[in-house]
């Protein structure tokens, strides 16, 4: 990929630039907890967006998306916003830096990536983080890492129409090889936790169902509203910190649906903390057990799964896989699976064959390794 980028850069711009990369991400556990003020537990992975960049001394950005074979040129004022969706990510990063007082000039770039699209691994956050980190360094802006993550988040909000949380950009910026990160979405405090499943005889793999269900209405907003209603009855701003005893005490004051949504979220907060404690002991069996609990909680209580993802989780259980669950918001996408090395081949073979027999296509197998986030490459 680097060679292909370099060749295209030389062809277009007749020079050489510097290489910068940032990573896609997984989230081991902690879904739908971010907007409840809770914890998430992501890590950067070995699938990246990679860009060659060189300042050009003008007020124009000249960008080429190698994977799409598309070129775009744009200025750096608000009225210069490009039409191409991919270019708006780069433009948005430039504009968000400028809004924070950073002086950004023109540059030339060619970029590509191997973060699977539509698999819930945040290729957009990887792209934003690549350019935020690169421009911060190339223009000597001195922006701290948290603000770089917020620049990516603001780009999504203001230029790409996605009201995302901070987890994806945080993971792409702060990612550290061999470590997951527990992020407190209320205080923004975080801590690294060693995560090396291969050392303990496990592999981490995603199975992409290649399914995305379009649902009528606003399922994410509906679930968020449920959580907010329960928190209000509890006298809290968020569900964060609520207990099952507290929830049971108000059960007759809330709807059955709101009760189930809150039961999932309160349980998920505890599961994240349980997994952190288990990893400290090298106890991957407990990690896997909590992953299954999360999956079925998302399926039955939060109702954000789908038939295909439940099928993959069931196949995992039947094959003796240590842990499996939906990764991401739900309604399609991937399962994330923690598999003993000796069971890996048989599990993959069974999952592909049985899924294809039932749904007419195989799931896409995506092995992942926890790696570094935003960085300059030699």
Would you please indicate which residues are annotated as catalytic (active-site) residues?
Answer: 168
Specify whether the CB–CB gap between 362 and 352 falls below 8 A: yes
Query: Strand, coil or helix: what is 287?
Result: helix
Which residue in 355, 347, 180 sits closest to 278, CA to CA?
Answer: 180
179: how many CB neighbours lie within 10 A of its CB? 19
Question: Alpha-carbon distance 294 to 62, whole Å?
Answer: 45
CA 323 to chain centroid, in Å, comes to 19
**Taking a C-beta distance cutoff of 8 angstroms, is the pair 52, 109 a contact?**
yes
Q: Coil, strand, or helix at residue 364?
A: strand
Burial class of residue 250 (count of CB atoms within 10 Å of its CB; 0-12, 13-18, 19+): middle
User: Measured between alpha carbons, how far is residue 118 from residues 122, 187, 208 in Å?
Assistant: 8, 30, 9
- CA-based angle 320:322:328, to the nearest 5? 120
Q: How far apart are CA 243 and CA 130, in angstroms?
A: 40
Are 324 and 317 in contact by the 8 Å Cβ rule? The answer is yes
Please tell me the number of Cα atoms within 13 Å of 119 on its side-chain side.
24
Angle subtended at Cα 268 by Cα 267 and Cα 273, rounded to the nearest 5 degrees: 100
> How many other CB atoms are found less than 10 A from the CB of residue 207?
29
Please answer whether residues 203 and 370 qualify as being in contact, where contact means their C-beta atoms are separated by less than 8 angstroms: no
Rounded to a whole number of angstroms, the distance between the first and last alpha carbons of the chain is 14
Are residues 363 and 312 in contact, defined by beta-carbon separation less than 8 angstroms?
Answer: yes
Measure the CA dihedral 377/7/117/368, to 10°.
Answer: -40
> Phi first, then psi: what are they for 321, rounded to 5°?
-65, 135
């Amino acid at each position: 990929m680097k060679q292909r980028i370099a060749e295209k850069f030389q062809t277009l711009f007749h020079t050489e630039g510097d290489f910068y990369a940032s990573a896609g991400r997984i989230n081991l556990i902690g879904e739908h907890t971010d907007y409840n003020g809770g914890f998430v537990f992501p890590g950067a992975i070995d699938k990246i967006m990679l860009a060659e960049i060189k300042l050009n001394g003008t007020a124009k950005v000249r960008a080429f998306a190698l994977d799409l074979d598309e070129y775009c040129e744009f200025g750096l004022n608000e009225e210069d916003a490009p039409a191409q969706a991919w270019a708006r990510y780069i433009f948005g990063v430039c504009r968000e830096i400028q809004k924070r007082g950073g002086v950004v000039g023109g540059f030339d770039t060619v970029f590509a990536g191997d973060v699977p699209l539509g698999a819930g691994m945040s290729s957009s956050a990887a792209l934003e983080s690549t350019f935020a980190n690169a421009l911060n360094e190339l223009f000597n802006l001195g922006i701290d890492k948290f603000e770089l993550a917020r620049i990516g988040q603001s780009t999504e909000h203001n230029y790409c129409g996605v009201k995302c949380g901070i987890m994806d950009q945080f993971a792409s910026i702060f990612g550290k090889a061999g470590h997951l990160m527990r992020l407190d979405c209320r205080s923004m405090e975080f801590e690294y936790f060693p995560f090396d499943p291969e050392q303990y005889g496990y592999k981490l793999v995603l199975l992409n169902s290649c399914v995305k269900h379009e649902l009528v209405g606003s399922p994410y907003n509906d679930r968020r509203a449920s959580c907010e209603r329960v928190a209000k009855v509890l006298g809290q701003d968020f569900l964060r910190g609520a207990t099952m005893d507290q929830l049971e005490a108000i059960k007759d004051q809330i709807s059955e649906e709101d009760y189930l949504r809150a039961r999932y979220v309160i349980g998920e907060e505890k599961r994240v903390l349980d997994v952190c404690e288990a990893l400290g002991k090298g106890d991957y069996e407990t990690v896997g057990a909590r992953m299954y609990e999360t999956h079925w909680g998302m399926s039955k209580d939060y109702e954000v799964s789908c038939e295909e993802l439940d099928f993959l989780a069931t196949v995992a259980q039947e094959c003796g896989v240590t842990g499996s669950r939906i990764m991401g918001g739900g309604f399609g996408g991937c399962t994330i699976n923690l598999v003993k090395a000796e069971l890996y081949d048989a599990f993959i073979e069974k999952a592909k064959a049985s899924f294809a027999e039932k749904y007419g296509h195989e799931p896409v197998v995506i092995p992942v390794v926890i790696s570094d986030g935003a960085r300059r490459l030699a």
